């Protein structure tokens, strides 16, 4: 490579490094603000602002879903293993919402640290398997998940 | 070091002649892979335990996203080679990669939205993965727009190449977004270091589709580049001869 090309190569590298540096700083400044949702622990520690629209997500605790018989009001608990957050919502849940599955609820946290959700989304994990495989391993699978989520 | 091979690679005529020879075979391979993958994935792979049949959109979504990211690196690399070596062909490849990449990015976003509604309960959310993917679409649009923003070809080539290079930082961000932040989008199913978290019966057709998309991408890139070669080299004798001979052939048929 002659000198001119070397010079241009340096300019190209400079562009990439400068771009990486700039976006690196932006990402660093964004930090946790770029998260789509808060975890129950963060809300319990008071890291989430009170009375402001936010999202919280975690694993739906087994057996925690309670529906009101006369309306669409419902309540369930989500956990990240160390803390539990109560979510209250009025509406229809997505098809893939389920106990032991991950979900994200959007709304405001009231002074009792209960999330009054206006929207509930189901979060899907990266695992794919046919029904019969899921069935045959469901016992071991559920046990593993429960230990992971810290539920006895 | 001997750079002769590198400069031969940069000859539009050499590229045009070589692709004329190889394109039919590559197109056939792409078609066979895509046909096999689609029939296998949509018709024969078992359905997912939780999502049922809606998971099958993965056979379009993942390969399109893959190639959208790989294609951006290719476009930026072509731009860098153009900037450093002033190679005509590499600027043509860069220009050809932009619309293909934009189309693939759009396909990834669209199939994701279609899948998101029945799975998450929402067509669109502003999480880190989806937002960074939308930025990728705008970067592709930016490169495309800069190609047509200048009267001077040299200026538009340089401007596009610089934008393409700056935009490369977005690719690792897209790739790692699901690990760096809490996102609604799930982490990667196909991992670099460990086995895919997908049953082999479902994963094999996905692999065929990814290979098929790679071949399709190369075919599309060659076709777009050939058009660009003919347009930019229209004043050379070999293009004149090519067009002359095809005109003669049309005349002869009449």
Q: Do A9 and B84 touch (CB under 8 A)?
A: yes
B interface with A, Cβ–Cβ below 8 Å? 3, 46-51, 55, 58, 80, 83-85, 118-122, 125-128, 162, 165-170, 173, 180-184, 186-189, 197-199, 201-202
* A110-115 long-range Cβ contacts below 8 angstroms, 24+ apart: A110/A50, A110/A51, A111/A50, A113/A43, A113/A44, A113/A85, A113/A86, A114/A85, A114/A86, A114/A87, A114/A88, A115/A43, A115/A56, A115/A85, A115/A86, A115/A87, A115/A88
What's the distance, CA A111 to chain centroid? 22
Q: Does residue A40 share a domain with residue A57?
A: yes
Q: Does residue A95 share a domain with residue A47?
A: yes
- Checking if the pLDDT of A152 tops 50, the result is no
What is the rounded distance in angstroms from the CA atom of residue A145 to the CA atom of residue A124?
Answer: 14
Evaluate whether residue A134 is within a structural domain. Answer: no
Q: To the nearest whole angstrom, how far is the Cα of A51 from the nearest Cα of chain B?
A: 21
Model pLDDT for residues B147-166, shown as the tens digit of each residue: 988 889 899 999 999 999 99
- Checking if the pLDDT of A149 tops 60, the result is no
pLDDT at B81: 93
Q: Which of A23, A24, A128 sits opposite B48 (nearest CB)?
A: A128
CATH number where A102 lies = 2.40.50.140
- Checking if the pLDDT of B246 tops 80, the result is no
Angle, CA of B53, B59 and B64, to the nearest 5°: 140
Evaluate whether residue A67 is within a structural domain. Answer: yes
Q: Is the ipTM above a cut-off of 0.90? A: no
Q: Work out the percent of chain B whose per-residue pLDDT is above 70.
A: 96
Q: To the nearest whole angstrom, how far is the Cα of B33 from the nearest Cα of chain A?
A: 22
Q: Does residue A70 share a domain with residue A25?
A: no
Q: Are B147 and B99 in contact (CB under 8 A)?
A: no
Residue A11 domain boundaries: 3-33
Evaluate whether residue A136 is within a structural domain. Answer: no
Q: Does residue A107 share a domain with residue A86?
A: yes
pLDDT at B63: 96
| Confidence category of residue B34, pLDDT binned at 50, 70, 90 | very high
| Confidence category of residue A141, pLDDT binned at 50, 70, 90 | low
- Checking if the pLDDT of B15 tops 80, the result is yes
What is the rounded distance in angstroms from the CA atom of residue A112 to the CA atom of residue A90?
Answer: 18
pLDDT at A126: 85
Q: Does residue A78 share a domain with residue A41?
A: yes
The tokens for B254 are 């009449």
Q: Are A43 and A35 in contact (CB under 8 A)?
A: no
What is the rounded distance in angstroms from the CA atom of residue B160 to the CA atom of residue B144?
Answer: 8
pLDDT at B252: 55
The tokens for A115 are 């999330």
Q: Does residue A66 share a domain with residue A21?
A: no
- Checking if the pLDDT of A145 tops 70, the result is no
Angstrom distances, CA of residue B121 to CA of A77, A142, B23, B169, B248: 19, 24, 43, 31, 60
- Checking if the pLDDT of B41 tops 90, the result is yes
Q: Does residue A49 share a domain with residue A22?
A: no
| Confidence category of residue B131, pLDDT binned at 50, 70, 90 | very high
pLDDT at B1: 55
Q: To the nearest whole angstrom, how far is the Cα of A133 from the nearest Cα of chain B?
A: 8
Backbone torsions φ then ψ of A29, nearest 5 degrees: -70, -40
Q: Does residue A117 share a domain with residue A95?
A: yes
User: Among the listed ranges A34-38, B25-29, B113-117, B242-246, which one has the minimum average pLDDT value?
Assistant: B242-246
Q: Does residue A48 share a domain with residue A12?
A: no
| A23 contacts on B by Cβ (under 8 Å) | 169-170, 173
Q: Does residue A48 share a domain with residue A29?
A: no
Q: Does residue A100 share a domain with residue A47?
A: yes
User: Among the listed ranges A16-25, A27-36, B100-109, B241-250, which one has the minimum average pLDDT value?
Assistant: B241-250
Return the higher-pLDDT residue of B9 and A117.
Answer: A117
| Window 51-70 of A, Cβ < 8 Å to B | 57
pLDDT at B250: 59
pLDDT at B253: 53
Evaluate whether residue A131 is within a structural domain. Answer: no
Evaluate whether residue A90 is within a structural domain. Answer: yes
pTM of the model: 0.88
Model pLDDT for residues A25-82, shown as the tens digit of each residue: 888 888 777 888 899 998 888 888 878 888 999 999 998 999 988 899 999 999 998 8
pLDDT at A146: 59
| A133 contacts on B by Cβ (under 8 Å) | 49, 199
Interface test with A, best of B65, B167, B181 (most A CBs within 10 A): B181
- Checking if the pLDDT of B181 tops 70, the result is yes
Evaluate whether residue A132 is within a structural domain. Answer: no
What is the rounded distance in angstroms from the CA atom of residue B16 to the CA atom of residue B25?
Answer: 15
Asked if the C-beta of A23 comes within 8 angstroms of chain B's C-beta atoms, the answer is: yes
Q: Does residue A90 share a domain with residue A20?
A: no
- Minimal-distance CA residue of chain B relative to A30: B181
Q: Do B48 and A129 touch (CB under 8 A)?
A: yes
User: Among the listed ranges A21-35, A131-145, B62-76, B147-161, which one has the minimum average pLDDT value?
Assistant: A131-145
pLDDT at A6: 87
Q: Do B119 and A104 touch (CB under 8 A)?
A: no
Evaluate whether residue A129 is within a structural domain. Answer: no
Angle, CA of B109, B208 and B99, to the nearest 5°: 40
Q: How many domains does chain A have?
A: 2
Q: Work out the percent of chain B whose per-residue pLDDT is above 90.
A: 67
Evaluate whether residue A46 is within a structural domain. Answer: yes
Q: Which of A37, A119, A129 sits opposite B182 (nearest CB)?
A: A37
């Amino acid at each position: 490579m002659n000198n001119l090309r070397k010079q241009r190569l340096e300019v190209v590298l400079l562009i990439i490094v400068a771009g990486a540096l700039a976006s690196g700083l932006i990402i660093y400044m964004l930090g946790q603000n770029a998260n789509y949702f808060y975890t129950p622990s963060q809300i319990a520690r008071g890291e989430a602002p009170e009375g402001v629209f936010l999202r919280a997500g975690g694993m739906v605790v087994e057996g925690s879903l309670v529906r009101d018989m006369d309306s669409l009001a419902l309540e369930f608990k989500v956990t990240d293993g160390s803390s539990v957050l109560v979510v209250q919502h009025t509406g229809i849940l997505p098809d893939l919402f389920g106990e032991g599955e991950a979900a994200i609820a959007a709304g405001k946290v009231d002074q009792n640290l209960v999330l009054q959700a206006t929207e509930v989304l189901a979060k899907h994990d990266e695992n794919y398997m046919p029904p019969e495989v899921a069935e045959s391993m469901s016992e071991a699978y559920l046990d593993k998940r429960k230990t992971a989520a810290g539920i006895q | 070091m001997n750079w002769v091979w590198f400069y031969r690679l940069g000859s539009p005529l050499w590229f045009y002649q070589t692709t004329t020879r190889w394109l039919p075979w590559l197109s056939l391979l792409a078609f066979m892979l895509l046909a096999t993958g689609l029939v296998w994935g949509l018709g024969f792979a078992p359905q997912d335990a939780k999502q049922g049949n809606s998971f099958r959109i993965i056979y379009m979504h993942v390969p399109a996203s893959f190639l959208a990211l790989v294609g951006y690196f290719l476009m930026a690399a072509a731009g860098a080679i153009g900037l450093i070596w002033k190679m005509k062909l590499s600027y043509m490849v860069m220009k050809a990669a932009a619309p293909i990449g934009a189309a693939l990015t759009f396909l990834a976003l669209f199939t994701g939205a279609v899948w998101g509604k029945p799975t998450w309960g929402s067509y669109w959310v502003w999480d880190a993965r989806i937002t960074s993917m939308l930025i990728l679409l705008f970067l592709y649009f930016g490169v495309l727009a800069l190609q047509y923003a200048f009267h001077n070809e040299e200026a538009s080539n340089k401007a596009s190449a610089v934008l393409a290079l700056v935009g490369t930082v977005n690719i690792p961000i897209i790739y790692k977004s699901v690990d760096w932040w809490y996102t609604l989008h799930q982490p990667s199913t196909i991992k670099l270091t460990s086995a895919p978290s997908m049953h082999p019966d479902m994963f094999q057709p996905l692999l065929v589709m990814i290979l098929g998309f790679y071949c399709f991408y190369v075919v599309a890139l060659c076709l777009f580049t050939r058009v660009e070669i003919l347009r930019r080299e229209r004043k050379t004798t070999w293009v004149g001869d090519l067009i002359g001979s095809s005109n003669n052939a049309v005349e002869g048929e009449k």
